Structure 1
Amino acid sequence: MATAGTGPADTGRAAEDHALATLQNAGLRLLQRNFRCRFGEIDLIMRDGNVLVFVEVRHRSSARFGSAAESVTYRKLQRLLAAARIYLGRHPELGDCPMRFDLFGIDGGAGNGPPIIQWHREIMSGEQEIFGDG
């Protein structure tokens, strides 16, 4: 995965660009990128058919501190859920859509060999977590 710049923001943007292209090639449609609220940011909000998909994108150039997937903490998941609640509050027309939370992880690349790309679908159950059904 080539990056346009050298800083963390440039690397993060390149990872999001790669994730977006991959997900769009898989048939998902972008609704919003980098949704920000007081709880944080949702990298990509997409539709997969009738399913609303909240995507967290993570990149790790080195496995020294764990993989991209391992970098997602319980606290980050809670903030992602809270941000999704805010998004749904601002878009009530999407409130009846089934939803899921995905993780798009990129490990390595940029001098560390070819990147390993993993798309983890349904990292947690949206309806149960957001609406307390479970």
Structure 2
Amino acid sequence: MANLPPSHYPNFGHLGEDLVAQWLQSTGWIILHRRFSSRWGEIDIIAQYDGIGGAEERGSRGAVRELRTQDSILAFVEVKTRSSGSWDAGGRSAISLQKQAKISRTAGIFLAQYPEKADYSCRFDVAIVYCQRISKNQTAVVATQEALATSSAAGYKFKLQEYILAAFDSSIENG
């Protein structure tokens, strides 16, 4: 039997990224870019969260004026989609220091292209997504950790199993 062409198979990485992007949006994040690339590398998702806090100020005539402060955060998100028996600890091992440096440089390029976002707090998050083929004959009950989000596509189930905030630190250099 001949092998099917690669275009016949679903792109699991993109499907995992779709799940993470949908989950981020459902929790109040705005997706700014998907698969942002530079000569240094690619960032799967760049998301922004605008936290708005309020305060009051009393003016010289006793009038109360509400002040709004905006605390925006940029998250540069690396998504790792793996099957449950993956060799690299569910994708965690694939985020080497070299990969972190590429993501950091690419984030710097993004901030250089969008200087209005340069003063935002930035962090590097990692999302771990597991995918598993949906079997029509599956009858076994398997206890698993509760997923943050799930979706199904192309005969596979995707689970956002873990979202790691500030998974690694890096100084971002603009330019």
Sort the TM-score into its range (normalised by shorter chain).
Answer: 0.7 to 0.9
Structure with greater proportional helix content: 1
Identity among equivalent pairs (%): 28
Instruction: Write the distance in 2 (CA, Å) between the matches of 1:51 and 1:78.
Output: 20
Q: Secondary structure at the match of 1:130?
A: coil
In the TM superposition, residue 21 of structure 1 has moved relative to its aligned partner by 0.6
Work out the number of aligned pairs and report it.
Answer: 123
CA distance in 2 between counterparts of 1:43 and 1:25 reads: 18
Shift of 1:15: 0.5
1:18-97 alignment, distance < 5 Å: 18-49=19-50, 50-65=72-87, 66-97=89-120
Displacement over 4 Å in runs of 4+: 111-114
TM-score with structure 2 length normalisation? 0.64
Aligned to 1:118: 162
Q: Which segments of 5 or more consecutive residues in structure 2 lack a partner in the other structure?
A: 1-7, 51-71, 136-141, 143-156
Bigger-Rg structure (1/2): 2
Contiguous gaps of at least 5 residues in structure 1: none
**TM-score normalised over the length of structure 1:** 0.82
Output one character per residue of 1:77-102: Cα deviation in whole Å (capped at 9) or x when no partner. Answer: 01000100111111111111111111
Give the structure with the higher percent strand: 2
Match of 1:130 in 2: 172
* Shift of residue 116, structure 1, vs aligned partner: 5.7
